[in-house]
Amino acid sequence: MKKFILYIIFVLLSITTLFAQQGKYQRKSISSVETVWIKPGALQDVKFDYEFFDIMVEHYIEVERFDYNVLPENLLTSFREQSKALTEITPNKIGKILENTVVKEIVSILNSPDVKKNRGLALKDETAWKTFAATKAKSIGLTVKELEALMNSAYIYLPYITSMKKKVKEKTISVNIDGGLLWYQVKVDKDGNASVKKVLGVKTKGIGSATIGAKSSRKFQFGKEVFETTEDQYAQYDAVLVWAKNLGVKTKEINAFKLQAQVVEVIGRKYSFPLGFLEGVHLDDGFNLMEFEEDKEGNEIAKSVGFVRVIKTGKNIEDPTNYTIAVQLLGGRQDIGGVVMEHPRLGIDLQIKAGYITGINVPKEDTYHYIEDAGDSLNILKEDLTDAAEANLTFAYNIAPIIGSSQTFLDFDIGIGLGLAEFNDDTKGTAYVFDVYLGFTKKLWFSRANLGISAAGGIDMFDLSGKWSDEKYKYSVSALGVKFGTDFEYLINPDLSFNFGANYKLGFAPFDVTLEYDDDEVFSISGSDDVEELYPDLNLGGLKFSAGINYSLGALPFNLFGFLDPLKKH
C-alpha cells in the first residue's frame, strides 16, 4: 500500500500539463509556506486569531481533493526575514521572495544528484529507500518526514494579508480584510530535474461586523461549533470566514485542481462518473461537459459543450464503484467516455428583480391628521394608494447539500421601491416601500428551465415623507406579512438565468403607525389590535409581478449563512 501511495506521489510530481490524462483527477499533494503571511503594520487595532484562521483555511482551502504536507521550518527562515522587510506588498513582490528563498531551497534539494538518483527507490526496495532517506535527510539537516514532505509536495500555497482594519461607528464594529493567495507548482521532468512554476496569484476582500452590546455578537457559530468571542473577535471571525471562503472557490477554479472524470454511464440526460464524497462533491454541484481539441500549435484545448448538475453524490469513500449522477441542463447529449469537469461556485445565487405591486391599501383618510403646532390639518394623499413599483435583491443560499433535497434554497430578500401616490396640492412628498423577508424556494427543473415555488415571512415598511407648510413630515407604517410565489426561470449559461413570476403577499394588520412633523413625533400607535381599530383598512399586502436575472456567485465580500457551510453532508 505504501509503495502504491509513493508511486502516485511521484506521478503527481511529473505531471506537466492539465490534460496529461483526460478525464481522471489525480489527488494533489499541497504544502503551506506559512499559516498566513501578514504584512508588517497591516493589523490596525486588531489582535489576529491564528487558531480560527487555521480552521477556516482547513475547511475552505485544504479540502478533500488534497493531501496536505508540512514544510520544514528551517526552509522558511530566510523567507520570513526578507518578507518582513517589505514596505509594500503585491503578489509579484511576495512571489519573488518566495521564489528566491523557499522555492530555491526546495529545487536545490530535489535536484541534488542523490535525490534524483533515488527518487524511485521506494518502488523497488522500501528498506533501501528508508536507509537513503535517513542518510540524505541527516546530511541536509532535515528529518526523514521533512524530506518526504518536500518530495511529496506537488503544490505550495501562501495566504497573505496586506491590510486588516477595525472601524467603530455608533453601535457597529466592522473589520475589513484585504489580501490574497499565491499558488506554486513543483514540477519534475523526465530527467528528474525539479522546477517550480507560479500557478495563481489572486486577491480578495472580507468584511465582517458585530453589534456592540448584542448577545448574538458574543457567540460565533460555524456548523455545530460555537466560539465564545468578544465583539471585536466576532467581527474578525466574520471577515476571515468570507475571505477564506472566497479564496477556496478561487483555488478550485485552478485548472489543475478542478475535479474531472470520464462518464461511465449515460441514461437519457443523466450521466454517471467516478467522483463523490471522497473528493468533496456535494448535491447540486455543477460540472461542464468537455471536448478536447488541438489548436494550430498542436496544444490540447478543452472546450465546454454542456453543463450538468449533481442529483446524487457518489458514496465512494468505501466503494469506488458508487458513482455520482448528474442531470444535463445545457448542451447536446454526450456519450460514455466523455469528460465532466468541475464548475466551482460559492453556493449562493444573487437575484435582481423589478416588479409592480397592486392591491396595497393606504386610504387617503388614514393620512389626514390635525397638527396642533401648525393649527391646521395635514392632508397628505389626494387618492388612496394602491400600487407601487419595487426592485428586489435576493441572496439564495443552496441548502440542498445540508437537507438532501436538490435545488432547495434559503432566501434573504430585500425590496425597495416607490409607492405610486398622488399627493394633495399643498403637500410635496415621496412614498417609499421597503421590505425584508426570509424564506425558502424549491426549484423543479425540466431541461434548461425550472419552476420555482417559494414561501417567506418578513416585515413591510411604508413611508410618506416630504414638506408641508415649509416643515418636514414623515408618516410611517410597519407590518408583518407572509408571501407565496412562483417563478419561471430559463438558463442562459451555467451561471446566469432569466426569470419572471408573481407572488401574493398576505399583509397582517400594521403593528406601528407613526407621524412626525418638524422632527417631532406627533403620535405613535403600537400594537396590531390598536392600529387595526383606528385604521381597519390599512394593509401593505398585495399581488406582485416581477422579472429579472439570477446569477450564481463566485465570491461575496460579506458573510451570509456561512455558519451553515460545515453542515453539508449530501
Classify residue 420 as left (phi > 0), alpha (psi -120 to 50) or beta. Answer: beta
Domains of the chain (ranges; CATH) run 2-256 (no CATH), 259-343 (2.40.30), 348-552 (2.40.160.20)
Residues of the chain with pLDDT under 70: 1-23, 89, 91, 115-130, 132-133, 136-153, 190-192, 194
Give the pLDDT of residue 15.
36
Give the pLDDT of residue 470.
83
Give the pLDDT of residue 153.
59
Residue 55 and residue 16 in contact, taking contact as beta carbons nearer than 8 Å: no
Give the pLDDT of residue 476.
95
Distance CA 362, CA 540 (A): 8
Distance CA 94, CA 163 (A): 15
Distance CA 381, CA 371 (A): 16
Alpha-helical runs (H) found in 34-153: 50-60, 77-84, 91-98, 104-110, 113-118, 121-124, 126-139, 144-152
Query: Which of 273, 272, 316, 308 lies closest to 64, judged by CA?
Result: 316
Question: 370, exposed or middle or buried, with CB in 10 Å at 0-12, 13-18, 19+?
Answer: exposed
Distance CA 100, CA 102 (A): 7
Phi, psi of 335 (to 5 degrees): -100, 170
Give the pLDDT of residue 276.
95
CB proximity list for 397: less than 8 A, separation 6 or greater: 347, 348, 409, 410, 411, 412, 560, 561, 564
Give the pLDDT of residue 522.
87
Distance CA 12, CA 10 (A): 5
Residue 466 and residue 473 in contact, taking contact as beta carbons nearer than 8 Å: yes
Phi, psi of 254 (to 5 degrees): -65, 130
Alpha-helical runs (H) found in 440-570: 528-534
What is the per-residue DSSP string for 50-66?
Answer: HHHHHHHHHHHTS-TTE
Give the pLDDT of residue 95.
75
Give the pLDDT of residue 201.
84
Q: Around Cβ 54, how many Cβ atoms within 10 Å?
A: 15
